[in-house]
Amino acid sequence: MAGLRVLLTLIAFLLLGHQTNAKNEAPCQRSKWNNGFNTFLKRHIRSGTPNSDDHNQWENYIKNNGGCDRPTQSFLSPDELEKVKAVCTNEGGKVYKENLCISKQPFSFYTVRSEPGTCGIRSITHETKHLILACEVLQNQCLPVHFEGNSKSLKPDNNAKGCQGQEAQGHAPSLKMTWLWLLSVLVLLLFYGY
């Protein structure tokens, strides 16, 4: 019986310790990754990106500035940084799903696809689409931390909440997590006779 109690206690603590998902369930919640915005900038809003579909220019740029390990990369203009950040606000974005927001306005950007394991450029596409960005709170500001592809050219739902709507900012635990906590406590109470 003591072994069973130890096992159940261990299970309960594992459930209690499993409080966070890898990503937030809604946009504009506190980030679990403190360097997310800086990584987003380094990957998607770099200075000196070519403004053409010239394969040689892009190959040289990626070789000299890093990114050969990423087979698909999208680059936004540094001149649009404030507009990109605004996607994570009520003014610039709508809730798409989970922690993702979709821009109210389309953006123009370059998507570069390279050969896996090399810096050889397979294709360069100048696209104009609505951005889908993961938005999380860092230093009391909701900022983009991830660029999600929009292969279906989706547009925002006019009926969706703004990216920083009250529902998007909620910091309450999910229903799933609440039930895990409750189950853990009940298991402990049951087997310790409280």
For the chain, residues classed under CATH 3.10.130.10 are 24-171
What digits encode the pLDDT tens for the residues 131-180?
A: 999 999 998 999 999 999 999 999 999 999 999 965 444 444 444 444 44
Rounded to the nearest integer, the mean pLDDT of the chain is 82
d(CA 73, CA 127): 12
Is domain 24-171 annotated with CATH 1.10.569.10? no
d(CA 13, CA 1): 18
Q: What is the pLDDT of residue 190?
A: 58
Q: What is the pLDDT of residue 81?
A: 98
pLDDT higher than 50, residue 55: yes
What digits encode the pLDDT tens for the residues 73-85?
A: 999 999 999 999 9
**Which of 19-28, 62-71, 97-106 shows the lowest per-residue confidence on average (mean pLDDT)?**
19-28
pTM for this structure? Answer: 0.75
